[in-house]
Structure 1
């Protein structure tokens, strides 16, 4: 890196450190679109924390969509005659009509705006390039994103202005050409800085224009939501290479993230990470460059005391991912990208139902290899044949990290929204985002004066220098202990939680822990009222045979609308399911431990489950202790009739338990698939998949 560029980058990184009260306040909030001089800006907000937030993703609005047109490939609900409904063509690859986008945001404004504390909006707010007669252009993409951003401002504003912070990120279809984003600064990032001006804190505009990343303190001094630019991790982005070369934007992104998370840790704050493309990585396929996945997993593990959760979109299917810290390869993180690693196929950008099923089966097969949650808590690595393995209890499953992936508004299945609930114990009277935003706005001219920047920057440089001196002392003191210094002289690795630190909100229930979510969906088969049937489990149609590759015309292919003119029913979202009362999932909360238990149970439905795992992990998830007869299996003497009888009886019990667990696992697996496809598939169809 050239000296000048290195200095510019260092200055940029330091500019994000909120060491002073001034910097902290300017970074803490967004700028609501009020007139700074108006009397209403002086008013104190009556809003209080509700302990809920909204995740909305992948709207894919298409202003060329026309009802009663064909869902066939290269037509995309733009022409011809076919089953496209007023509010969208569910289960097809057609994009969202503007009627669906408008109705969704209107429903959110009426039912959710005053019930949520903030909004996570994970991108793809433009249509796909799926019609050769109407190709996408850059101006069209940016114009639509501006329309949608304005609609979000309207949705989450009242007569006083914006009252709910919205944290956006862009998806792979929000740029032109799609998937390709060159390193910043560039025109795309500058344009989105303008489009998202109401959402990006003033103090972070320069950072955003440099790399497309920023964060918002959605609960001032308590919780920040980080908008990650996953386009710099995305394996299909031909404009970048990896996350290990200092010249790459992915490398710089992780440097920035490290600085910010260090700062939050020192302030006693927590963070939610969000982005568009998730870190999906199965045994055969993945979405991120491997070096980026490695760094992300390390960062998540080292900041497990700070990070509450991570949320993504892009894939349209409702599911979750577990990253395993045991798969971290420091050679890939510390050295150049020439290091060897297992090659996985790049995952298809758009997943059909069949390819989605294949991907989910790969997840299930990978989960089959998870250690028993009970064994994990007991401190025995029981994946080793008959061995006790290392003693090292993982009561809170801190070895793993969790990524939650929400289904989309675009009706590749049924349009969906997700509302999370989180623990606000002790925060009931905490100032809200809008309170702090208005306070900052009143002092906007004073706190944004450019003459203050050199003083703030100098203080940050001094404190950073002191921090580096302390780290050098610590390294010298611990010389000869732990891993060798990184090969990359520029690389700075995150520190783990301080010794004795309690598990963070992602692992142990406490303030800011995610308690659960409610999944909403709009049953378009019923609402469009064009083709009969109620949709979901009650609509088992022979035409619902999606191709395993390419375009999906949807379950209504070949059908003719029963009305000459559309006669839709009233649009609404309804509850598809809630983790609070889903008895099959049985999630006590959304901690990592809860999902490790769920994943392990699903994994036992895998046909590839090895016998050793079946034996060693055959304990019910509800068991509190290891099987009391386990030691007896290890000391059986064939010459002793009593021991032999005891073994036979124990074997029978083990076989019965194994059968019971397999049945339970299969039921959970089918339930998982049902939700993955947002209740658009019947049980028989899920069995066929």
Structure 2
């Protein structure tokens, strides 16, 4: 008999099966009132869990780890997953991950950004997915998120993934059965004030620090080029679901900016010239740059490969952006292998010095790797942000005249004739370290997954962090009393617990913070090629050691 402690998801799947297929609730569930928690200055980003109820150990990869035990000593599915494969996550892996987060991190973070794909891939013709299974898996994962975080007063902000719908990649304009079902599944995550908007489009915002800091969860299915059920933000169709979402997003950003708040934008499919319809990509980039002094950053999943890149006004006018379609394509294809070289080429095209860089025209997109070991190894990120700096007071005078984002794909649009003032400022939190500025992240992963067993389960380890070593420890007792360690000392490897360490394999980037100037500085270092070890580390982290070109 399987041990009960290893199967909370199995219990949830059976206990809540009837609930999963019931009619959606008409109002969000009220979670128990919790006192305001002391800010820790950290949050979790987790994505692409892909739990698979059909996964079995010792099965073949060709069967999606569902059957056909290999006769020879060829690779077989393990007790906790099969790394570098096309198999999804066994419940043992998702359970281990959530148990680890509950025990080690739930008291150390302020909120959770969870960017979708909480059902398995449709990768087995003999066991095709069904809508019932998709919703059941999402409901089970949501209930576990509630138990680990929400009930403790930690906001969870989920997003709809392209595999959270059936058929995958396809979502009709709302309201529809998807928005209705997720209104029920996420009733403890979606604020009551956002409920009607969510039922229409599957997007919403949450004030994670009331009156100061918000997270916007976008439904990227209405921007995603693979969704043939929508019009792709056609400029002539004001009722296109992508346009309606951007109209809502613009209002949200304007309201938050007017209140002096800062915002994280999150979603599943990352914004790029390939992933998004051309008009959707143009609108996303224009809004991201127009509200640069309000948006702290952009967090996404879907691609499974660890990387960052820039939204740049010049890219929209550069027809070469269309040539990158083979790079930022479906993450489950061989084309992902060119991602490393393509990013280096992008970085090489940037201004060579900070003096020549106009930061007004940049926004940074961070794409996190996944929990599912498909095709790499399970991982998650812990971000830190400034909770002690001075606040930024936006002004209507901040910024500059509009920078044109029109090209052959968008010049017919009235938006190209009515460009608006851009809100940018070098003292905003996205560009200088002050209150709410992102400071860095630590990425954890499960190495040696294939060598683990039920008797010897795998353990999450620190893979790398973005900070310089000097910032890992408070400089004095007063600083420690104010804000302890960016990463709690007990979570650091022994080699990093000593403040006198001068170098480490865990800290190759040495970023003072995660502002736009810091990211462009790292991009220049990678482009120059003089730090060969840095390039090797960047590539290794992107593919988690896999043999990708």
What is the TM-score when the length of structure 1 is the normalising length? 0.63
Q: 1:482 to 1:31 in 2, by over 3 A?
A: same
Match of 2:364 among 394, 402, 414: 402
Match of 1:327 among 315, 328, 343: 315
Match of 1:48 among 38, 48, 53: 38
Matches within 5 A, 1:43-442: 44-45=35-36, 47-72=37-62, 75-82=63-70, 83-157=76-150, 161-243=151-233, 244=235, 245-281=237-273, 286-329=274-317, 342=322, 345=325, 347-352=328-333, 355-376=335-356, 394=358, 397-411=359-373, 412-425=375-388
Structure-2 residue corresponding to 1:509: 433
SS, match of residue 263 in structure 1: helix
Q: 1:363 to 1:276 in 2, by over 3 A?
A: same
CA positional deviation for 1:593: 1.0
Contact 1:88 1:524 in 2 (8 A): no
Contact 2:261 2:294 in 1 (8 A): yes
CA positional deviation for 1:279: 1.4
SS, match of residue 414 in structure 2: coil
Q: Are residues 1:672 and 2:538 paired?
A: yes
Q: 1:257 to 1:32 in 2, by over 3 A?
A: same
Over alpha carbons, which structure has the higher Rg? 1
Contact 2:404 2:419 in 1 (8 A): no
CA positional deviation for 1:568: 4.0
Matches of 1:44 and 1:324, distance apart in 2: 42
Structure-2 residue corresponding to 1:547: none
CA positional deviation for 1:235: 0.8
Q: 1:568 to 1:360 in 2, by over 3 A?
A: farther
Structure-2 residue corresponding to 1:575: 462
Q: Map Cα deviations across residues 245-275 of structure 1 (whole Å, 9 max, x no partner).
A: 3121111111101101100111000100000
Contact 1:87 1:524 in 2 (8 A): no
Contact 1:86 1:568 in 2 (8 A): no
Contact 2:55 2:65 in 1 (8 A): yes
Q: CA RMSD in A?
A: 2.9
Contact 2:317 2:405 in 1 (8 A): no
Contact 1:299 1:494 in 2 (8 A): no
Q: 1:319 to 1:139 in 2, by over 3 A?
A: same
Q: 1:55 to 1:351 in 2, by over 3 A?
A: same
Contact 1:122 1:275 in 2 (8 A): yes
CA positional deviation for 1:427: 9.1
SS, match of residue 61 in structure 2: coil
Matches within 5 A, 1:27-42: 32-34=30-32, 41=33
CA positional deviation for 1:326: 2.6
Contact 2:225 2:276 in 1 (8 A): yes
Q: Map Cα deviations across residues 524-546 of structure 1 (whole Å, 9 max, x no partner).
A: 436x43xxxxxxxxxxxxxxxxx
Matches of 2:418 and 2:354, distance apart in 1: 36
Matches of 1:313 and 1:482, distance apart in 2: 29
CA positional deviation for 1:325: 2.0
Matches of 2:117 and 2:263, distance apart in 1: 23
Contact 2:316 2:405 in 1 (8 A): no
CA positional deviation for 1:374: 3.3
Matches of 1:256 and 1:423, distance apart in 2: 28
CA positional deviation for 1:667: 2.7
Structure-1 residue corresponding to 2:520: 596
Matches of 2:201 and 2:115, distance apart in 1: 17
CA positional deviation for 1:407: 0.5
CA positional deviation for 1:497: 2.0
Q: 1:351 to 1:206 in 2, by over 3 A?
A: same
CA positional deviation for 1:368: 1.1
CA positional deviation for 1:342: 4.8
CA positional deviation for 1:211: 1.0
SS, match of residue 512 in structure 1: coil
CA positional deviation for 1:343: 6.7
CA positional deviation for 1:33: 1.6
Contact 1:113 1:155 in 2 (8 A): yes
**Structure 1 unmatched ranges of 5 or more:** 1-29, 35-40, 333-339, 378-393, 429-470, 530-565, 606-660
SS, match of residue 439 in structure 2: strand
Matches of 1:104 and 1:116, distance apart in 2: 16
Contact 1:49 1:427 in 2 (8 A): no
Q: 1:496 to 1:97 in 2, by over 3 A?
A: same
Contact 2:466 2:509 in 1 (8 A): yes
Matches of 2:420 and 2:202, distance apart in 1: 22
Q: 1:135 to 1:483 in 2, by over 3 A?
A: closer
Matches of 1:78 and 1:71, distance apart in 2: 8
CA positional deviation for 1:355: 2.8
Q: 1:110 to 1:187 in 2, by over 3 A?
A: same
SS, match of residue 360 in structure 2: coil
Contact 1:313 1:408 in 2 (8 A): yes
Structure-2 residue corresponding to 1:497: 423
Q: 1:171 to 1:198 in 2, by over 3 A?
A: same
Structure-2 residue corresponding to 1:628: none
